[in-house]
Amino acid sequence: MAGFSCSAADLHPLLGTAANAIAAAEYICNGFDTVSNKLVAATYAIDNTYLLFSAYLVFSMQLGFAMLCAGSVRAKNTMNIMLTNVLDAATGSLFYYLFGFALAFGSPSNGFVGRHFFGLEKYPSPSGDYSFFLYQWSFAIAAAGITSGSIAERTQFVAYLIYSSFLTGLVYPIVSHWFWSTDGWASPVREGHLLFGSGVIDFAGSGVVHMVGGIAGLWGALVEGPRMGRFDGDGKPVSLRGHSGTLVVLGTFLLWFGWYGFNPGSFLSILKTYEHTNYSSYYGQWSAIGRTAVTTTIAGSSAALTTLFGKRLLTGHWNVTDVCNGLLGGFAAITGGCSVVDPWAAIICGFIAAWVLIGCNKLAEMLRYDDPLEAAQLHGGCGAWGIIFTALFAKQDYVNEIYPGKPGRPHGLLMGGGARLLAAHLIQILVVIGWVSVTMGSVFWLLKVFGLLRISADAEMAGLDVTSHGGLAYAYHDENNDQSVKNSFPMANMDSSNA
């Protein structure tokens, strides 16, 4: 917010020719300057508080991931998957602090990677405050949390630590630099030439967060192979159902709640007016934030209902886990364009996202691909659809509000904006797939080569809770009997044999 200025030299002629006119003018201007400074400070305080609160909401999604993952795996692996979610946050904190934030937002830099603020040196700066770092960190660990679900129930614990460090410290930050930094080569807010005159409008990260996490998980699961018993001798899929629908629903609602920080929070500020709009003074960024929350809600709800009836037609069941995953698929899809589309378009987004997820799951079974959380299908597949959706339905008025200063910027193809935005978004899909495949695919392959990826067949049969974490998550029997169970399966913290 720019402050207003007051000049005593300009004001005192208006006060007449009295001897004290100059002193009165200086007094009045000093008062105005004080008020102006207070208003500027209040604006920064309000915007930073809004961003901090949004960061807290996004961080709460880690609890949602933990509950969703715990409910989606078998009981014998509950402690393992919950611990990996804790370590995603803790490991991601250090590596994003040391390297990730600088690679993502260390400006001034080039179009491919940031070069400043390693370890938050010389930060805060005019480009951001600590609240901005915390908010971006919460996004980085969300990407790592997505990946952990794809390789659940058969992965050595050390592999989680290695991939999470690499993803949050290098892979994800560079992608976010490309599309979100003011210097990024495909960013819609970069100064100078924009990709296809537009840049990529991935507002809250259908590609930057969800596709990155989903593609990383895809490669992890592909390199590792399916869980024992997931497919029979003829290659037909065998259901390995998670042990708690209750935890799945709890995790889904926590993620839904956190998404109101993920999408609306990506505005980064709230106290901002929009000029040259068709609305009165009541309309500003706070209105766009409200609209973003509405489109998020509608897309997820549309996807949930579509999944409910779609799966009923296909399988004959009303399946709560499928509905929860469909809901999250709708959220992942709307994330990229949540701020630039109308609520009616969000219905279309969620409807198609549900079928994208159903189709990806069917394809996964045909290819004997095993992802216990459907993370690659949900976040990768629905995230890719969300990128295309934005390029089709982005509304010109909303695009100009959120990305001002570029008259004639392309908008959605089906909204009369031409195909340039779609071209930019197709490039985003390709480069995200390519970058994550080369980096994370190599990491998982190296982990396998060095015997650090998959647990042994015996450990997989017994469950990671007993073999790696000291006991079962649930007390099914007396503590003395539990000790006998643990003694039956020696601890295998670093078992390098492959199943």
Structure tokens at 312: 């009923």
Whole-model pTM: value is: 0.90
Give me the residues of the chain with pLDDT under 70, please: 1-22, 24-27, 29, 32, 276-281, 476-499
State the burial class of residue 214 (Cβ atoms within 10 Å of its Cβ: 0-12, 13-18, 19+). buried
In a domain, 21, yes or no: no
Number of domains in the chain: 1
In a domain, 155, yes or no: yes
Residue 241's domain comprises 32-268+292-467
Distances (CA, A) of 251 to 78, 86, 237, 246, 488: 14, 15, 26, 9, 33
Question: How many Cβ atoms from other residues are within 10 Å of residue 34's Cβ?
Answer: 10
In this prediction, residue 34 carries a pLDDT of: 77
- Say how far apart CA 222 and CA 224 lie, in whole Å: 5
Nearest to 174 by CA among 218, 199, 216, 140: 140
In a domain, 67, yes or no: yes
Nearest to 329 by CA among 347, 365, 304: 304
In a domain, 323, yes or no: yes
In this prediction, residue 481 carries a pLDDT of: 53
Check if the beta carbon of residue 172 is closer than 8 Å to that of residue 164.
Answer: no
In this prediction, residue 281 carries a pLDDT of: 66
DSSP 340: T
In this prediction, residue 207 carries a pLDDT of: 97
Please name the residues in contact with 10: beta carbons below 8 A apart, sequence gap of 6 or more: none
In a domain, 5, yes or no: no
In a domain, 354, yes or no: yes
Structure tokens at 73: 């795996």
Check if the beta carbon of residue 149 is closer than 8 Å to that of residue 375.
Answer: yes
- Say how far apart CA 124 and CA 131 lie, in whole Å: 9
- Identify how many contiguous H helices and E strands the chain contains and give both numbers: 19, 0
Check if the beta carbon of residue 496 is closer than 8 Å to that of residue 447.
Answer: no
Whichever domain contains 205, its CATH number is 1.10.3430.10
Check if the beta carbon of residue 148 is closer than 8 Å to that of residue 215.
Answer: no
Which single residue is written with the structure tokens 């695919």? 441
In a domain, 496, yes or no: no
In a domain, 54, yes or no: yes
